[in-house]
């Protein structure tokens, strides 16, 4: 696989992957090796609950360029409790390759759990991140206003808004706070012209590249399983939009 040499100005990383998911059970090692050979310098494997957080840590321990994020996704908010919080504290302190708390946040699209429960779990995990001195990876779907308010109330500063899909007005509010936006395959979709305006306007230090694999492949791979190597397609789009 070849790619434009202009992309070498980026540190090629997939900052949000779910390599522990069953979609990769048959060829996980091959997927990881493709990413390495393509020049990716880092992959962050992101947990959604206790089991996936544990598996993410195991992958990080096995591969030198994989790191882990641990947390409870809003779709699993009912699984959050003090015992789990205590375990995350131990893991974050003992495992050097745990680099953030996430995937946490609010999801009002699926609304698997009541909004107030999601908010409470979100707040408690933000408190956990502050206690540990770790950044947070935030899931935000049809909940931007509440996510913003909870983040402001928490006082946390190191924030990545995963799979950013809001408009320029909200993006500017995030940039004013120093929050980082995660851009993935969705920026390549034909209908997402407004999102591409956000990419073009984003301060150079306030975005990262991601895949959210196995979900949301770039347009050139629609209908396929996404994987970390496809972050190169995201980088190509970002490079084109930002000249």
| pLDDT per residue as tens digits for the range 12-31 | 999 999 999 999 999 999 99
pLDDT of residue 243: 82
Task: Say whether pLDDT at 2 is over 70.
Answer: no
Separation between Cα atoms, residue 87 and residue 82, nearest integer Å: 9
Percent of the chain, pLDDT > 90? 94
More confidently predicted of 153 and 110 = 153
Among candidates 144, 124, 46, which has minimal Cα distance to 79? 124
pLDDT tier at 1, thresholds 50, 70, 90: very low
The fold of 10-241 is: TIM Barrel (3.20.20)
In order of 19, 53, 243, the CA distances from 99 in angstroms are 16, 12, 31
Q: How many CB atoms lie within 10 A of CB 231?
A: 30
Provide the residue ranges of all domains of the chain, joining segments of one domain with +: 10-241
């Amino acid at each position: 696989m070849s790619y434009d040499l202009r992309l070498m100005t980026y540190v090629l990383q997939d900052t949000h992957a779910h390599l522990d998911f069953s979609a990769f059970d048959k060829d996980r090692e091959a997927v990881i090796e493709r990413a390495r050979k393509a020049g990716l310098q880092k992959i962050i494997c992101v947990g959604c609950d206790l089991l996936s957080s544990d598996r993410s840590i195991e992958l990080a321990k096995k591969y030198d360029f994989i790191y882990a994020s641990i947390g409870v996704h809003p779709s699993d908010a009912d699984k959050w409790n003090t015992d789990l919080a205590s375990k995350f504290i131990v893991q974050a302190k003992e495992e050097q390759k745990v680099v953030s708390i996430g995937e946490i946040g609010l999801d009002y699209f699926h609304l698997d759990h009541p909004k107030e429960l999601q908010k409470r779990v979100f707040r408690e995990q933000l408190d956990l991140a502050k206690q540990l001195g770790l950044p947070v990876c935030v899931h935000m779907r049809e909940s931007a206003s509440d996510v913003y308010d909870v983040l402001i109330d928490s006082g946390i500063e190191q924030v990545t808004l995963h799979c950013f899909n809001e408009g320029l007005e909200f993006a500017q509010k995030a940039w004013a706070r120093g929050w980082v936006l995660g851009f993935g395959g969705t920026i390549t979709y034909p209908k997402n012209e407004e999102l591409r305006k956000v990419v073009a306007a984003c301060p150079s230090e306030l975005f990262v590249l991601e895949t959210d694999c196995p979900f949301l492949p770039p347009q050139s791979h629609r209908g396929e399983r996404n994987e970390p190597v496809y972050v190169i397609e995201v980088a190509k789009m970002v490079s084109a939009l930002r000249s």
